[in-house]
């Protein structure tokens, strides 16, 4: 049977600021590429690389960079950030991405999901949804890296994007993200409940037990984390050992 995936997420963000120089293409790779190499060597189940500054900076994805990443990546690679049209998707898939993640553009042009699914197949179109809890305790979708409220409930939005042809949903809690305090399990459960395609839980995982909860309590098919792997001693391999002991089927390497 299908194994539950443990996915490290790599976020590329505001690199121009970090380095303080205009010509930043190669240096950026200098930070992301080694991480990709390490995860590749450790045979992670999959990697998600998101350029979270692209949409805000009003630019498309950096295809050349993805080409470099894929040279050293022999596990599945999902790439997102700044995608607004079919040419971007074509370029990324050609460069070595296995799947693409669409987020902000979906609100402006939901039909892009449908067109992309028709041309490239649903299986490589990941709909990425960022959500926050409102003061009334409801959830609301946000675009543009969590900055722009979209006035729609993430479970409803996930259902719409599934109908348009998305093959997977990546659901991220904006306010939990990076806190290492645990996933928003309700949010994940609501999205899982709404769709019949795989859901990847994201945003806030603090430990392996969080992964188990997202999978066994909320019903996610995959768990993604960034800070947990970057800033703590925890590893995807240990996570899978923990999950396996707790009855979750994972890929053994």
Partner 1 sequence: MSVDIIDYGMGNLGSISSALDHIGVASKIVSSPESLKTATHIILPGVGSFSKAMQNLSEGGWCDAIRNAVEHNNASLLGICLGMHLLSSTGTEHGETTGLGLIEGNVVHFKTNAQVVEEGVLVPHVGWNEVAIQKKDDPIFQDIKEATDFYFVHSYYFDAVNEDHVLARTPHGFPFPSVIRNGKVWGAQFHPEKSGPAGFSLLKNFVGV
Total site size for partner 1, rule CB under 8 A: 41
Could you say which residues in the range 164-203 bind partner 1, by CB under 8 A? 167-168, 196-198
In 3-state terms, what secondary structure has residue 128?
Answer: strand
Residue 24 or 72 with smaller CB distance to partner 1 = 72
- The minimum distance between CB 245 and partner 1, in angstroms, equals 18
Each residue 107-146 as x (binds partner 1 by CB under 8 A) or -, in order, gives: -----------xxxxxxx----------------------
- Measured from the CB atom, the residue of 97 and 213 that comes closer to partner 1 is 97
| Shortest distance in whole angstroms from residue 81 CB to partner 1 | 19
- When the beta carbons of 1 and 21 are compared against partner 1, the nearer one is 1
Tally: H helices and E strands in the chain:
11, 10
d(CA 4, CA 251): 7
Does 76 bind partner 1 (CB under 8 A)? Our answer is yes
- For position 71 contacting partner 1 by CB under 8 A, the verdict is yes
d(CA 162, CA 128): 11
3-state helix, strand, coil in the chain (%, to 5): 40, 20, 40
Does residue 162 touch partner 1 according to CB under 8 A?
no
Q: Could you say whether residue 43 binds partner 1 (CB under 8 A)?
A: yes
Which phi and psi (to 5°) does residue 182 adopt? 115, 155
Asked if 45 interacts with partner 1 (CB under 8 A), we say: yes
Q: Quote the strand ranges of the chain, DSSP E.
A: 5-12, 47-51, 77-80, 99-102, 125-133, 139-143, 148-149, 168-173, 199-202, 222-225
Q: Are 100 and 80 in contact (CB under 8 A)?
A: yes
Looking at the Cβ atoms of 3 and 144, the one nearer to partner 1 is 3
Handedness of CA 13, 16, 17, 18 (dihedral sign): positive
Minimum CB separation of residue 109 from partner 1 in Å reads 20
Note the residues at the interface with partner 1 (CB under 8 A): 1-5, 43, 45-46, 67, 70-77, 93-99, 118-124, 167-168, 196-198, 221-222, 251-253
């Amino acid at each position: 049977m299908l194994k539950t995936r443990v996915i490290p997420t790599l976020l590329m963000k505001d690199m121009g600021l970090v380095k303080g120089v205009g010509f930043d293409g190669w240096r950026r790779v200098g930070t992301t590429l080694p991480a990709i190499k390490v995860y590749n060597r450790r045979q992670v189940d999959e990697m998600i690389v998101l350029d979270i500054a692209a949409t805000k900076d009003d630019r498309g994805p950096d295809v050349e960079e993805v080409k470099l990443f894929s040279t050293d990546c022999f596990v599945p690679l999902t790439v997102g950030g700044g995608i607004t049209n079919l040419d971007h998707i074509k370029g990324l898939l050609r460069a070595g991405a296995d799947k693409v993640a669409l987020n902000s553009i979906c609100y402006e042009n939901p039909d892009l999901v449908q067109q992309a699914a028709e041309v490239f197949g649903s299986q490589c179109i990941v709909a990425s949804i960022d959500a926050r809890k409102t003061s009334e305790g409801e959830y609301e979708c946000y675009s543009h890296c969590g900055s722009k409220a979209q006035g729609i409930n993430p479970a409803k939005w996930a259902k719409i994007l599934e109908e348009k042809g998305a093959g997977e949903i990546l659901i991220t809690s904006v306010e939990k993200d990076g806190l290492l305090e645990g996933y928003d399990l309700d949010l994940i459960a609501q999205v899982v409940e709404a769709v019949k395609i795989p859901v990847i839980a994201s945003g806030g995982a603090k430990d392996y037990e969080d992964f188990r909860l997202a999978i066994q309590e909320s019903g996610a098919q995959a768990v993604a984390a960034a800070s947990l792997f970057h800033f703590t001693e925890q590893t995807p391999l240990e996570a899978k050992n923990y999950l396996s002991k707790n009855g979750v089927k994972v890929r053994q390497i």
